Structure 1
Amino acid sequence: MTLAAEIEHLQQKGLYVTANEHDACGVGFVAHIKGEKRHDIVTQALKILENIDHRGAVGADKLMGDGAGILIQIPDALYREEMAKQGVTLPPAGEYGVGMIFLPKEHASRLACEQEMERAIKAEGQVLLGWR
């Protein structure tokens, strides 16, 4: 399908495909229609997460976490303040990203993982601004 044909199809039919109905298992969505950042939106998202019975891997072991969580906007003011303590000046909001990485507690292993992450970031043509 050409790009023009795909765009026309999406304009006529939208993004919803009934054949993919099973793909949205355990998904909730809360947002402010105008993009306003509000704490009650996070509270509502956590309530959704709490009430979703099936979040993909939850059936494997009900006593273990399944890695489910919420996706929020980057709290720019928080990161700006924290990184300034390390002498790092962040680019304007929207021009940097944040990664959450679970690192080993053991010092040597942690350093090895950080070095590998830094190598991968550089290989992708990105710049590591710092660690928090």
Structure 2
Amino acid sequence: MRYLTIPLFLALSAPVAAQEDNSQVDAGRRALASTTEKFTDSDGAELYRRACSGCHGAEGEGAYGAGKYPALAANPRLSHARYPVNLILEGNGAMPAFDEWLDDAQVAAVVSYLQTNLGNEYDGDITAEEVKRMRAEFADLEEG
């Protein structure tokens, strides 16, 4: 009788496990949500240090291992603010979405930091209002 309990338990728990594994992005969100609250920093360098450097490296050099974390240093994709804003808000692959953890001003601060540091010499003049507009655009694209 004791041996029948284990297969029954496994059979009953399988659908729950399948439901929890919806996507990598959702898993990233759950993992991040379980370890941190919303960020309170407003300085782009400090936000980068706390939220980004653990995966992308202190100098933005990127990392490979359990996941692929591209280099942000001297990255031409950062020349247009829309690209990093989208990644920060929506996430991608192993990178979780930070839309619930960073407000518009914080996203603008991180993007400006990325564009003007780590070997990047771009404008870095995105505003919180522009991030707010992009956030709404991205949400509309998801719904549509």
TM range (shorter): under 0.3
Of structures 1 and 2, the larger Rg is shown by 1
Question: TM-score, normalising length from structure 1?
Answer: 0.25
Q: Which structure carries more helix by proportion?
A: 2
